[in-house]
Structure 1
Amino acid sequence: MRDFADRVKRLLVGRPVPGRAPGETLLPKRIALPVFASDALSKVGYVPDAVLVTLAVAGAAATVAAPWIALAVVGVLVIVVASYRQTVHAYPSGGDYEVVSTNLGDRAGLLAASAQLSEYVLTAAVSTCAGAGYLAAIVPALDPYRVEIAVGLVTVLALVNLRGGREPGGAPVLPAYLFMGAVGAMAVVGLIQELTGALGRAPSASYEVVSQAGRNQGLTGLAGAFLVLRAFASGSAALAGVNAIADGVPSFQRPKSRNAAAVLALFGLIAAAMLLSVVHLAGAVGVHMVENPATDLVDHGAPLGEDYRQDPAIGQIAAVVFAGFRPMFYVVTAATGLILVLAANTAFNRFPALAGALGRDEFLPRQLSQRGDRLSRSNGIIVLWAGAVVFIVGFQASPYRLIQLFVVGVFISFTLSQIGMVHHWSRELATATDPGKRRRTYRSRIVNAIGVAATGTVLVVVLLTKFTRGAWITVAIMAVLYLVMSAIRSHYRRVSEEIAIGDLHDARPLPAHVHAIVLASRLHRPTLRALTYALSTQPTSIEAVSVDIGDGGAARLLRDWEDAELPVPLTVLDSPHRDVTRPVVSYVRSVRRDSPRELVVVFLPEYLVRHWWERALHNQTARRLKTALLLTPGVVVAPVPWRLGPLGESHIHRGSRAGTAEDIMDVDVATRSAQEHRLAPSHNPSTNRPPTTQENA
């Protein structure tokens, strides 16, 4: 079974790769922009949809607020980009987790890490779901299979990352530039058509949008204001991924911080232009997006029904703008879907890296900080894949529903990071004496303070407007992660204190008395193997132990033991209730009580079977004994395996001396000689028990 599993693993992820983890690849700005900004740029693929869907709750007339909401989102984007430009100069070696932990302490760092971990899982889920939607826009027949497509995409990404590879380089460059070029061309051509009056209308523009109240109410009153805030909260998801550039500063060419700051500024300009263009064109062509198109869109008063397929906003815009040149529609739609898949792939890079850092700091299992045989952090990749699949299936591959969960973690991380930066600049000001440096530090603190105000405000809006619509799930996940990571840290600290050496001089290994116990049910080759192995360790005293369960086996073992003239005394424990485990454990504990400074080593013969189904036929008693003895203080369990099958010891030639009574005699003589040389003359190495005894359990 194990060999089969290993062959499947090698088929999926490839052969082990020798060597150390790959080093960082230093990237110029033209390469770093698509590599690190692809995640944030991809939000243009579904954020306009989320804004339009939210506003559609109040009817079609409410969508006129979409451009203003997009403008507000761009304003926050400018502030966040300016804030992270300060971060890349102050912390060129790390991201939000390091900034928060260094300035606000481990507890705040743990909260930021919890937010980021949940953000990465949701990034992988929402990006693949949105990518599946664009694939369905190209091939309409695939629309009923969005869940299966999204699960397939995230699984392929997991397998690709499990196979390992180089640090970020050329793979995302062409798709990212293709996406920027395709959307840019669509925006330019669409704006020209709008100015010349040649811009058409989207098919969904001819349908009426039914508000939740059953009639178009617009955005009047308190409910309308709350809806605008909710749409703004959805649009704020466009900022997710900005911190990826700050996390990737070590991969930039020198001067690293300056190049990272330049890429941040360039990304801000491109993202703002793309978001505003898409939202504006969506309104110009009359795109209608609703959460439930089968019931919320009507044609002459009749619902469209389940057969209607709602394409993403960019897909609808591209179909109108390039109505006379269909291939360009496919280019725009395919490029958008591809960039979304690449955005999901960035989560497979960032989640294992953060989980590895948390494992190194002992907030998560240490295994997460280790690389697999393909030099990838395979444990983190598998955890991310499992979490993304749960969200995809649980939310039926709906990007709009997932985005309700997505935003809260983003802005918790943003806000904590900006607070940490304000603390950082305050400390710098307390020690800086140079006037020029003080001015720069003061200016940076003002920028980050504005960032705290902006991101904190958005966080409050998100919590108020999204909490009951799914954000509570993210908050609950973060709380669980926080508690689990705190418990793991406490466990590791407790273990470290328990096993730490207080005084190296007093803790040096000294000669100790060892009492060896060989468990025997009958006299056969595995028992002889265990006796030989036990004697070869040169214990201070040794005995064999068996249990009489009333089936005559103990009597046969006593006769065989005497006939073989084995130099090891045999103790038979009586068990009137036919239980094997309890008498052995009680006896071992009594040996420990009689000699508390003596180490007891229990040698346990067990079979190694050829097939998985054979495990149910062997070793059940041995497994129960091993489990019980491992929980007994001062006792060491030493399994002695005996391989079954054509290639095992059971087919060794009878003339071989491996595990025979003669071997035991030879080993016993050597053991006694070594003990006499090692022990003082007054010490008696033999056990006080007679060669064959019987005790009541």
Structure 2
Amino acid sequence: MASPTSLLKRLLLGRPFRSDRLQHTLLPKRIALPIFASDALSSVAYAPGEILLTLSVAGAAAYAYSPWVALAVVVVMLTVVASYRQNVHAYPSGGGDYEVATVNLGPKAGLGVASALLVDYVLTVAVSISSGVDSLGDAIPLIGQHKVITAVVLIAVLAALNLRGLKESGLLFAIPTYLFMFSIVGLVGWGLFRILVLGQDLKASSAGLTILPEHGMSVATSFAFAFLLVRAFSSGCAALTGVEAISNGVPAFKAPKSKNAATTLLLLGTISIAMMLGIVALSLMTGLQYVESPKDQIVGATANYKQPTVIAQLAEVVFNHFPPGFYLVIAVTALILVLAANTAFNGFPVLGSILAQDRYLPRQLHTRGDRLAFSNGIMFLAAFAAVLVVAFQAQTTRLIQLYIVGVFVSFTLSQIGMLRHWNRLLRTERDPVARRRMNRSKAINGFGAVMTGFVLILVLLTKFTHGAWISLAAMAVIYAVMLAIRKHYDTVARELVPSEERPVLPARNHAVVLVSKVHLPTMRALAYAKATRPDTLTALTVNVDTADTRAIQAEWDRRGISVPLTVVDSPYREISRPIIDYVKSLRRESPRDVVTVFIPEYVVGRWWEHLLHNQSALRIKGRLLYESGVMVVSVPWQLDSTSATNLDRLDRSLARTPARGPRPGEDGYVKTHD
């Protein structure tokens, strides 16, 4: 019978997959689109709102500029999509921006991109979940009152779903994502049909509100308003987040991988642009108003005024005679915002695995779990995102200020790297057709580098004091941590390289058996120590209690054990220190000798029994491992709780676990997964 922990794990994750089933987890385009594009598609739900919210600072008249701001965002999105289509053909291995920057600009640039992407993935989860909770709060007041708890629970649910495997989670997310696309297209299409064809005068619930500019700002103040337009543009560029996920996830596609990834990118860009422009146009036609500070900008608004989201306002006016349509749009919008975090749950673990393989992150992140997902990376991401949600109280407006800095750092460095990639190939390519194709790709990536670099500068100028500095600081910290990890692994590797000299054998081996009582574990340890044929053999006990020590000596003599029993005093009732001092004294007398310490240990079969046994043995072992020239041998004694049933359960568990041998250069032990 399986343990409760094993049953719970199987219930949450399902049965483990064999390593040779990895090919069966690859994705067709129809499943890859909702998996990798849910983040970019969900941006449609809040990017138009961010444009309107920023423009509201100058008053209601500034909303007339929203289509032009949206068109500028569309130009950047088209550029980025076209640029990344070049990336996935040139670098299909899944390294994405990190690989492009590392290969073409050097390891430091690659590490800068990696730190930016890691920050962006964590923020993607935090922003998407928080935004989804906001939308759910519009329909369910209880959720609005407990946003933080709801957000953390949703992060945990997403992590559990992703631990079940990429393809399985994709099947779960495909229906809501396609339903969201259908709902938004239906909302925009029906709204425009009612206005343009039927001639109906649709007005959003906020159309009649009086909006005041902030701090006396207005459209008339040219310089300040120009800066505001730039801010609105940089906020709208949140719609571009998630585009890079496809280039990082090319290995997850079915063959032909690059072609399928490029097609998915094109579909993503086309759908996102159409939905975003439709929402902005419909917002303008219905007079929708969405402000940054409702209680300060809306005349007559109280402190408790709850401002509906842009999607909620449009759904309310477009489906004013069809309530099910309104609730469908609200439900799927909230759902897609939550599921948008899934893009990060697919991108972060893959990038973490690549960085771990390059020794910039802990090796555990390179290990696949039972369901062939990078389980440790998934759990790391969930933990970091939950901390961020709690720290910012799940407030989307505060989190989104941190959001797009990282992604545009990676965009820009990646496009610069692609320019160097094409220049390198053009130096050796002589075929005119191939050169024309490369020059066309180079022109696309060059334009992309200019556009994304320009947006990055604007984002830094307009959002630095609003929270973007936090993202930059986090990127710097992660960059430094990854360098430190790489330095550690390099140092360890250098220390472990065998020298050309033949190892010098120790002159003698002194065996020391630790004795706490005269019982079966001690007798087994003595027998095993004798079997190793040491030069000297000593049984060692620590005198903490005089009566107990005398009882041990009496039993030792009564049994006629031939090995001498050495007693060391411990006036301060310590156990570890006297043993360490004794072992050190043997080493001082003969530095070329080796000391082997045999530690009898109980083996128990129940989890709670571990709390009752072997604590002293663990402490002693931990101290001895730091002593040069000292070998530590654990001699196990199995108690009755390690019954045949328990052993059979362990054997079945190990049999279900896919074998994972160490890669070259890794430690030669079995890694823990999940």
Normalising by structure 1, we get a TM-score of 0.85
Distance 1:192 1:612 in 2: 66
Q: Which moved more, 1:335-344 or 1:152-161?
A: 335-344
Residue 286 of structure 1 aligns to a residue in which SS?
coil
Where does 1:59-98 land on structure 2 (aligned, <5 Å)? 59-94=59-94, 95-98=96-99
What root-mean-square deviation, in Å, do the aligned CA atoms of Structure 1 and Structure 2 show? 2.8
On the 8 A contact 1:521/1:553 being kept in 2, the answer is no
1:45 is matched with: 45
Where does 1:195-214 land on structure 2 (aligned, <5 Å)? 195=196, 196-213=198-215
Is residue 470 of structure 2 the alignment partner of residue 469 of structure 1? no
Where does 1:225-244 land on structure 2 (aligned, <5 Å)? 225-244=226-245
Distance 1:292 1:512 in 2: 80
On the 8 A contact 1:187/1:281 being kept in 2, the answer is yes
Q: Report Cα offsets for 1:462-515 as digits up to 9, x if no partner.
A: 111111211112112111111111111111111111112234x835x9797432
Distance 2:549 2:227 in 1: 82
**Which of 431, 452, 457 is matched with 1:434 structurally?**
431
Q: Report Cα offsets for 1:523-554 as digits up to 9, x if no partner.
A: 33332232123223333331111233472444
**Which of 296, 300, 303 is matched with 1:302 structurally?**
300
1:274 is matched with: 275
1:496 is matched with: 493
Matched length = 641
Residue 502 of structure 1 aligns to a residue in which SS?
coil
On the 8 A contact 1:229/1:465 being kept in 2, the answer is yes
1:686 is matched with: none
Q: 1:197 to 1:98 in 2, by over 3 A?
A: same
Distance 2:385 2:560 in 1: 65
On the 8 A contact 1:78/1:268 being kept in 2, the answer is yes
Cα distance, 1:626 vs. partner?
A: 2.2
Is residue 477 of structure 2 the alignment partner of residue 480 of structure 1? yes
**Which of 447, 450, 456 is matched with 1:450 structurally?**
447
2:397 is matched with: 400
Residue 533 of structure 1 aligns to a residue in which SS?
helix
Distance 1:264 1:401 in 2: 29
On the 8 A contact 2:49/2:309 being kept in 1, the answer is yes
Distance 1:627 1:256 in 2: 49
Cα distance, 1:60 vs. partner?
A: 2.5
Q: 1:581 to 1:139 in 2, by over 3 A?
A: closer
Q: Report Cα offsets for 1:203-229 as digits up to 9, x if no partner.
A: 12222334432x563462433222222
2:633 is matched with: 638
Q: Report Cα offsets for 1:547-602 as digits up to 9, x if no partner.
A: 33472444443333233221212222244444433222122112122233332111
Q: 1:451 to 1:512 in 2, by over 3 A?
A: farther
Give the AA of the match of 1:524: H
Fraction of identical pairs, as percent: 51
**Which of 533, 537, 540 is matched with 2:532 structurally?**
537
Q: Report Cα offsets for 1:390-420 as digits up to 9, x if no partner.
A: 2222222222221111100110110111011
On the 8 A contact 2:35/2:342 being kept in 1, the answer is no
Give the AA of the match of 2:56: A
On the 8 A contact 1:24/1:251 being kept in 2, the answer is no
On the 8 A contact 2:37/2:343 being kept in 1, the answer is no
**Which of 613, 621, 625 is matched with 1:626 structurally?**
621
Normalising by structure 2, we get a TM-score of 0.88
On the 8 A contact 1:405/1:471 being kept in 2, the answer is yes
Q: 1:34 to 1:611 in 2, by over 3 A?
A: closer
Give the AA of the match of 2:64: V
1:506 is matched with: 502
Bigger radius of gyration: 1
**Which of 418, 423, 432 is matched with 2:420 structurally?**
423
Cα distance, 1:29 vs. partner?
A: 4.7
Residue 69 of structure 1 aligns to a residue in which SS?
helix
1:178 is matched with: 179
1:224 is matched with: 225
On the 8 A contact 2:352/2:365 being kept in 1, the answer is yes
On the 8 A contact 1:23/1:167 being kept in 2, the answer is no
2:586 is matched with: 591
Q: 1:575 to 1:39 in 2, by over 3 A?
A: closer
Distance 2:604 2:27 in 1: 53
Give the AA of the match of 2:302: L
Cα distance, 1:330 vs. partner?
A: 2.2
Q: Report Cα offsets for 1:248-293 as digits up to 9, x if no partner.
A: 4344455543443343333323222211111121122222223443
Instruction: Give unpaired runs (5+ residues) of structure 2.
Output: 645-674
Residue 201 of structure 2 aligns to a residue in which SS?
coil
Distance 1:189 1:547 in 2: 85
On the 8 A contact 1:25/1:168 being kept in 2, the answer is no
Q: 1:425 to 1:482 in 2, by over 3 A?
A: same
Distance 2:169 2:12 in 1: 22
Distance 1:536 1:184 in 2: 79
Give the AA of the match of 2:301: P
Cα distance, 1:365 vs. partner?
A: 0.8
